[in-house]
Amino acid sequence: MSNYILFLIMFCGGMAAALQPSINARLAQKVGILESALISFAVGTLALLLVVLISGRGTVKAIYGTAWWEFTGGILGAILVSITILVVPRIGTAATMAAIIAAQLTTGLILDHFGLFGFKVLPLDMKRFIGLAFLAIGAGLMLRR
């Protein structure tokens, strides 16, 4: 699969990620913050279950060979969804997404630089640092009113 296709797929994922906090925050106005996060994850779990049943190629049995920390992704996702539900109505979707993206890029650069989780080492160079700086400036501008 070409890098352009992969980029397009992630662009669509980014659009979904930008829509999700506002939709969840709207639901939270009716049911509550944590309840909205729970509903979001329950619906997502059911959708993934259906996709796995229809087209899954892996094996759930391999779960027994995993390390405990490999399950923390779900907890981190629940924290992120809950925080965005709380924050979006207060600072807006764009500022929330700017903060998330800046934090993701910063963390991603650290993970890449040290090759954490066994992935390829991609050293932090000046070009990547400047990209991070511009993103941080942009995120800061989004927070200004």
Give the pLDDT band (50/70/90) at residue 66.
very high
Average pLDDT value for residue range 71-84: 94
Q: Which of 41, 13, 25, 8 is nearest to 84 (CA)?
A: 25
110 pLDDT more than 80: yes
| Burial classification of residue 62, based on how many CB atoms lie within 10 Å of its CB (0-12 exposed, 13-18 middle, 19 or more buried) | exposed
19 pLDDT more than 90: yes
57 pLDDT more than 90: no
Question: pTM for the complete prediction?
Answer: 0.82
Residue 61's pLDDT is 86
